[in-house]
Structures are given as C-alpha cells and as structure tokens.
Structure 1
Amino acid sequence: MTDGVHRDEMTTDVRLMTYLIERDAAGHCERIELSARSQPGEAAPTERQLLAEFHHRVEKLVIDYEQSEVPPRGDELIFRDIYEEAGRHHEGPEPPGTDQPTPHGSTDRYAAVTKLLALETEFRGPRRLSGTQHTYLAEWYEKLGPALRAVDLHAHSALAYKRATWLHGVAEDFTAQDRCRLARARAKRRATRPAWRRIPGWISDVLCGYGFRPFLLLAWIAAQLVLFTGLLLAVESLTLGDSIQICLTNYLNPVGIGDLGSIGVGGRVLLLVEAWTGIVFTSVFFALLVRRWFRF
C-alpha cells in the first residue's frame, strides 16, 4: 500500500527523467548510426570516442536528476521500469513542448543504451544507495553486458561489466567479481582496433581466461604431456612406459645429464624444451591458484 502511494507521488518526476533518458538514448543511437554509415576515408568517431560522448550525456542527466524532486523508493531502484522494459513509449502526456524520442537504428541497441544511461544516472546520482540497491544494480549491469555486446557496443559493454565488478565488490562477492572481470577483459579485447592487437589478449583468454580460470591451464598441461610423450616416442627408441615416465618427471623436475642415458640429441633438445615449458606453465598455474585461494 505504501509502495503504491510513493509511486503515485513520484510519477511525474520519474516520467520526466525517463523522457530525458530516452531522448538522450535516441540521440546517442543516432550518433552510432551516423558513425556506422560513414564512408571510407571519413573521420568517423571510434566507439571509445562515442563512449566519451556517452559519459557527457550521463553527467548532464545526473545534474537534472539532482535538481528533480524524485522521492526515495526505499530499497527499490528509481528507474526500475526502464530496466524492466526499455524502449517502450510512455503512457500519458509527455512534458510540454517536447516530442516523443524515437529510436535510431536497431531497437535492441536503443533499449540497451537506454538501460545503460538509466543505470549510470542512478549509479552516479546524488542518492546514497542501500546494500540491496547495490545488489540490484550489479545484477542489471551484468545482464546488460551481453545485450550491448550483441549490438556491437563492446566498449559500452566493458563499462557495464566494470560497474558490475565494483558493485559485486561492495557485497564481497568475489566469484561474481572475477566473472565480471573476465567478461570485461573480453569486451575490451573486442573493442580493440586494429584486430591484430587483440592477439595477446586472445592467447591469454584461451590459456587461462585472463587469469580468472586457472584450471584451464591443467588441460593445457595435460595436452603438453601427451604431445611431448608422443614426440619423444617418435625421435627415440623408447618404450611407451619409459617415454611417459621420463616426460612426467622432466615436466615437473628437469632431468640431469646423468639421467639421459642413451637418449640422442633430438630427444635431449625435446626434453629441454619440455622442461622450460613445464617451469613456465606450472609457475603461472600455482601463482593464479594462490591468488584465487587468498581471495576467498
């Protein structure tokens, strides 16, 4: 009953702020469309430049939010209706002297940008957020990340995951933090231009999920042991059992000259490469594992 009274009291102010958010979302989407339609040779803004413009829009919305008379909703989010249904037209009359903002380009893009603008306005706004509101915002930011990625706004998606990481940290949810950090790293890689600069990040992601999935390294270690065992069998006249024993021992503790016996030059070079590979991969694995343990 009380919630219904609060909603009635704040309807006009929330509707005005919602209009301003949707208007700026439509304008931002128009800028994105113009950038996408630019001809080769034209100085089209990059997504990072568009994101800077986005931040400028948010700052203006925060000022409007500060000057509004929107009463608090307790633990509810002020712009909850936008998060649940972005892109819909308002019911009732619009503020005088204004036109209904219309989406430019993809409706999905317009909905995602509208939600991100609303989330940023509420996150940066003057009101002190409760623990429950922090949790709600973290969930909405994390849900928005894939939606922004789906419409090729990868830098915007990285921003959503950045906010979700911080908000999960407030709740000391370290598992969710690592999940969002990994998603943010992937979004930042996709936003990197030119494409060849993504290669180091891609390698890190494949090997260990940017350090947030250390157990992936165990699969790579197992694959390396199989590979080196097969190669040792191919270049030396050893039994399968001897090859497995030598490679398993050498990977964790490099064998000495006295242990090589009748192994030829090819086998010695192979074992040397395996030993250095093992040192690197096991060191990285235990470092990431210790980091993970201390987080918990």
Structure 2
Amino acid sequence: MSTTFSEARESGYERLSRIVEQRAGRYADEVELALNQGGLRDEEAELLDEFEQYVSNVLDEYPSRRRKSHQLIFNALYERKPETVPSERRRTLLVALMAAEVEAQGPLRLTMRQNKDLAEILEQLGTDCVAEKMMMHAAEAFERAAEIHLLTNDNLERDRFLYLRTKVLHRIERSWWRRIMQTVSAVTCGYGYRPYRLLGWVLVQLLVFWVMLLVVADGTWLHSLYLAAVNFINPAGTDELGGKVKTVLVVESYFGALSLNVFFALLVRRWFR
C-alpha cells in the first residue's frame, strides 16, 4: 500500500516536470518569435508577464506532499546539457528558469539547504540569461534569489543579488539621464549595496584637495594635508585665508558633507533592517 502511494506521489512530480517542460517550451517559442522579429528589448516586459502566467498555471498543478528527498524537485531540469544550437540553448534555459520560479513559489516549504541550492541555481540562470541578452529575465532570476536570501536571513547575499539585478537593469535603461545617475551610483557606492566603496572615493577626494592646497596655499605639505583632512570632516574657518584657498576649502567641505552623509545613510540601512 505504501509502495503504491509512493509511486503515485513520484509520478505526480514527474507529471509536474513534464508540465513545466511543456509550458516553458511554448514560452520559448514566443521568445524565439520575438527574437526573429527584431529582438527582445521592446517585448521582454510583456513576455515576462506571460512567463508569470505560465508559472501561475503550473503552480495550480503542484502536488500537496513533498517527496522524501533533500534534492530539489526539478533537479533534473536544472542539469542542462551544453547545446550548440542557440534556440535549443535558450529553450533549456527557460525550462530551468520556469522550474526554479515554480519551486521558489511553490506551496511546499524548502529547507535552508534547498533554499541556498536554489539561489545558486538562480544565479547561474541569471548569468546565462545575460549571456543570451535576456536582461529582464536575468533581473527576474536575481530578484528571486534575493527574495530567497531574505527568507534565510542572509542580508549580504541578498544585497549581492540585488546589486546584480540593478546592474542588469542599468544596462537596458533607455533614459540617458537615468543612465548617468545610475553610472555615478554604480561607481561610487555599488548602487547603494556596496557602501564601503565610498571610503575609497573619500580618500581620492582627500588626495585631490590636498594637491590643490599644495598649489594654492603657503605652508608645508604636512600642513596642507592636515588642513585638507580636518576641513573634509569639519569645515574650517576661512575668514583669514586667501581667495583661492577659501574656494578650495569651501568646495571640499561640500564634497565631504555629501560623501559622509551618503556613506552613513547607506551604512545605517545596511546594519539596521
């Protein structure tokens, strides 16, 4: 009796895998059609809406019981064979991506180990989507991995995946001024997910203003260094200084206030959430 029940349960998972392959195959055909008609850039958002609908339909077929295994349910679908034909490579990639989405959103609770394994799979899928120029699909994979690490309380890994997601979306941003702002954010603080990068820019600013003070101010290099360091943190009085020195110190104080305020804001966000 128990053997029959076990076999029925296993067949339920096999049936679910076939459903995922069928739905993902249909979706892959739609992606290929969009590619043949001029690329994904204009249609990828709409295609992702259909992708979510396919995932929702598969979830309705999800078995109510978990099999007694520490492996992920769709482990066989994640183990993709190397494909030389681009369309087949994309198809197997989308099958694995849909399987990962279904498993992540499924009603069965995953263990800590399974969550970490699934996040690693999603990272690889996202990387492969980037290679295939399916940027929004990659962003979806990275975002799902970040949500998994929210469940596991691993904030460092969550930030890493959110960084990858933002980096991918930055690449397809069409607004030129947003691209400029995102580029500045990426270079200075890793889109807000790598605040310690700002400390490097603080050192660069100190070096630049120190050199400028060496040029315009009288005094030793040590005095100029001291003045630049102190003024960066706490603006010095400039009433008794010459016009050029005063200008340098005022500009430095604004840069210092902005850099340090942003740094501490990002640090507080990172520590207290």
- TM-score of the alignment, normalized to the shorter chain, above 0.5: yes
Q: Matches of 1:181 and 1:39 in 2, distance apart?
A: 29
Give the percent of matched residue pairs that are identical in Structure 1 and Structure 2: 33
Is the contact between residue 86 and residue 114 of structure 1 (CA under 8 Å) also seen in structure 2?
Answer: no
Q: 1:77 aligns with which of 72, 77, 95?
A: 72
Q: 1:152 to 1:195 in 2, by over 3 A?
A: farther
Query: Residue 53 of structure 2 aligns with which residue?
Result: 56
Give 2:185's aligned residue. 204
| 8 Å CA contact retained: 2:163, 2:190 | yes
| Partner AA of 2:116 in structure 1 | T
Alignment of 1:16-27 (within 5 A): 16-27=15-26
**Closer, same or farther: CA 61–138 of 1 in aligned 2, 3 Å:** same
Give TM-score scaled by structure 2 length: 0.85
Query: How many residue pairs were aligned?
Result: 270
The alpha-carbon deviation at position 177 of structure 1 amounts to: 1.4
Does 1:34 find its partner at 2:33?
Answer: yes
Residue 278 (structure 1) aligns with:
256
Pick closer, same or farther for the CA change 1:229–1:159 going to 2, 3 Å. same
CA-to-partner distance for each residue in 1:9-63, whole Å, 9 max, x for gaps?
55644444333322333332332233233359xx984221111111111122222
Deviation at 1:179, TM superposition (A): 1.3
Quote the residue 1:164 is aligned against.
145
Which letter maps to 2:74?
F
The answer as to whether partners of 2:66 and 2:108 remain within 8 angstroms in 1 is no
Consecutive unaligned residues in structure 2, runs of 5 or more: none
Which secondary structure does the structure 1 equivalent of 2:272 belong to?
A: helix
1:124 to 105, 109, 133: 105
- SS, match of residue 195 in structure 2: coil
AA partner of residue 256 (structure 2): G
Deviates more, 1:31-40 or 1:143-152: 31-40
Aligned equivalents of 1:47, 1:245: Cα separation in 2: 54
| SS of the residue 1:257 aligns to | coil
CA-CA distance at 1:80 after TM superposition: 1.0
| CA displacement 1:101-152 (0-9 Å, x = unmatched) | xx98444322321111001122223334344433332232233221221211
Q: 2:195 and 2:98 mapped to 1: Cα distance?
A: 35
Q: Secondary structure at the match of 1:17?
A: helix
Residue 255 (structure 1) shift: 0.7
| Residue aligning to 2:171 | 190
The answer for the alignment partner of 2:243 in structure 1 is 265
CA contact (8 A) 2:238 2:246 kept: no
Deviates more, 1:44-53 or 1:159-168: 44-53
For residues 135-146 of structure 1, what are the structure 2 equivalents within 5 Å? 135-146=116-127
Match of residue 196, structure 2, among 196, 215, 223: 215
Change (3 A) 1:182 1:17: same
After superposition, the Cα gap between the structure-2 partners of 1:39 and 1:168, relative to the gap in structure 1 and judged at 3 Å, is: closer
Instruction: Report the counterpart of residue 90 of structure 2 in structure 1.
Output: 109
Distance 2:190 2:247 in 1: 30
* 1-structure distance, mates of 2:65, 2:81: 20
